[in-house]
Structure 1
Amino acid sequence: MSRIPQQLTMGVIIGNRGFFPSYLVAEAREQAVALFSRLGINTIMLDPSQTELGGVETRQDAKICAELFRTHRDKIHGVVVLLPNFG
């Protein structure tokens, strides 16, 4: 059994579909950053400059996110997928 690390780092994916309003991605991002910060958990997620509002909507967005996670694979303890338009 492995020990829980002192500092958790989670990969965060914010999913979206083209026909849903993009502002939901921005709101989910703000809320996720605030929540993880309050819990003392580091995050690795797309920057709004990498894809539209930092969300994953297209196959190309997914490839960009996969490369980001691949780059940080030694730091990421788990992945959280947020689907703000399915709530």
Structure 2
Amino acid sequence: MGGLLKFVVILLGIGWLLGQLLRYFLRSKLARFAQQVAEVEKEQRRAQQAQSRPKEDVNVDFVPDAHNAKKKKDIQGGEYIDYEEVKD
């Protein structure tokens, strides 16, 4: 009976120790993986921002008159349409 109890205690101890080691290694691997994913995402954002930035050497010398007319257009009013209300 003493041998069986000793065997079970040793088995539980080894199982607990393996569980702790497995948890430690999984956490470290997951942390490293999360860090790599974050770095890749950061690089992609940098590349996307670099592509979407306008060039600083762009100068606009001419603005079409139609564009200015739309901005300065004063509304004079519209055409009045006379109507009768019909009751059913």
Q: Same fold, TM exceeding 0.5? A: no
Higher-Rg member (1/2)? 2
Tell me: higher relative CO, structure 1 or 2? Use CA pairs within 8 A at least 6 residues apart. 1
Instruction: Name the structure where helix makes up a greater proportion of residues.
Output: 2
Instruction: Name the structure where strand makes up a greater proportion of residues.
Output: 1
